[in-house]
Amino acid sequence: MHKAGFVNIIGNPNVGKSTLMNAFVGEKLSIITSKAQTTRHRILGIVNGEDFQVVLSDTPGIIKPAYELQESMMGFVKSAFEDADVLLYMVEIGEQELKDEAFFNKITNSKIPVLLLLNKIDKSNQEQLETQVQLWSEKVPNAEIFPISALEGFNIKEVFNRIIELLPESPAFYPKDQLTDKPERFFINETIREKILMHYKKEIPYAVEVDTEEFFEEENIIRVRSVIMVERETQKGIIIGHKGTALKRVGVEARKDLEKFFGKQIHIELYVKVNKNWRSNVNQLKRFGYNN
């Protein structure tokens, strides 16, 4: 018998959704930083076995949209409710507030099985853990609760086994050697964006989008040319930095990660361009893959 289905990870920003998805897939498909809104898209990660295929989807954290880009990000979250066989609702130890009541009601009224993953238990003690498990079992009575550490891989296997049990009998949806639905360029864009999130402060990370305009794969090397889009001239100066050192660091760190990801040498050419208000411009957003 072969099982296959869709498993969607939802929850507040920064609880560890992308960390979990990468842990399941065993590859860094989703970028991870300590900043909210690191994940902007819905990203599929596929785990293949002889008699199963689990199609996970990582989504942006649940927020109240303030501009067009965020509207689109929440569209990805909404669709995650609609096509799942199993919902993974992730919360973190110490989390109290539910940022969006409507989403929370969808979870508690879900007809789809819900696994509530209480993450980051590596940061808690036994007493705190027991209190939190009690709390969440009252808040979401329809869920099965798994205390986990996505970062350390604790209890991950148990969650995975339960997912497989819950999946319907079905042939695979994607070829068995496929890991994701996203093209190579997407991972280049995202890796560069991760480095920007890590190294620049305040509004810079949120004003940035990356677009890989050229991608040439040769036998021993991949050559790419990517543009970093910002909204204002001053932001361009900050991204580049004194004598270009700041931008250079982004390029060097992204290259190291991407060489691991592709298993090949990579040459990245980076440049910065001002593109006013791309976050509010529907046509620009479509171009960057936010149409959903």
- Under the binding rule (CB under 5 A), the answer on residue 18 touching Mg ion is yes
Sheet holding 265-274, edge to edge: 209-217, 221-230, 265-274
Q: Which is nearer to K ion, 33 or 110 (CB)?
A: 33
Q: Tell which one of 150, 266, 270, 285 touches ligand GDP (CB under 6 A).
A: 150
Point out which span in 99-107, 114-122, 184-192, 259-267 binds ligand GDP (CB under 6 A).
Answer: 114-122
Q: Which is nearer to ligand GDP, 52 or 146 (CB)?
A: 146
Type of residue at 79: S
- Under the binding rule (CB under 6 A), the answer on residue 32 touching ligand GDP is yes
Q: Which residue has the tokens 């939802």?
A: 10
Site for ligand GDP in 56-95 (CB under 6 A): 61
Q: Tell which one of 38, 53, 132, 180 touches K ion (CB under 5 A).
A: 38
Type of residue at 15: V
CA angle 225, 226, 230 (to 5 degrees): 150
79 annotated to bind ligand: no
- Under the binding rule (CB under 5 A), the answer on residue 284 touching K ion is no
Q: Which is nearer to Mg ion, 3 or 41 (CB)?
A: 41
- Under the binding rule (CB under 5 A), the answer on residue 22 touching Mg ion is no
94 annotated to bind ligand: no
Q: Which residue has the tokens 């932001």?
A: 235
CA nearest to 117, candidates 12, 35, 26? 12
Q: Which residue has the tokens 């319907």?
A: 168
113: left (phi over 0), alpha (psi -120 to 50) or beta: beta
Residue 116 interacts, among ligand GDP, Mg ion, K ion, none and using kind-specific CB cut-offs from 5 to 8 Å, with none
Helix axis angle, 184-199 relative to 245-262, nearest 10°?
Answer: 140
CA nearest to 27, candidates 50, 10, 45? 45
Decide: 234 and 243 in contact? Cβ < 8 Å. Answer: no
- Interface characters, 123-142, with ligand GDP (x: CB under 6 A): x-------------------
Neighbours of 88 (CB within 10 A): 27
- Under the binding rule (CB under 6 A), the answer on residue 25 touching ligand GDP is no
Site for K ion, rule CB under 5 A = 14, 38
Binding site for ligand GDP (CB under 6 A): 13-19, 32-34, 38-39, 61, 119-120, 122-123, 149-151
What does the binding site for Mg ion look like in residue numbers (CB under 5 A)?
Answer: 17-18, 39
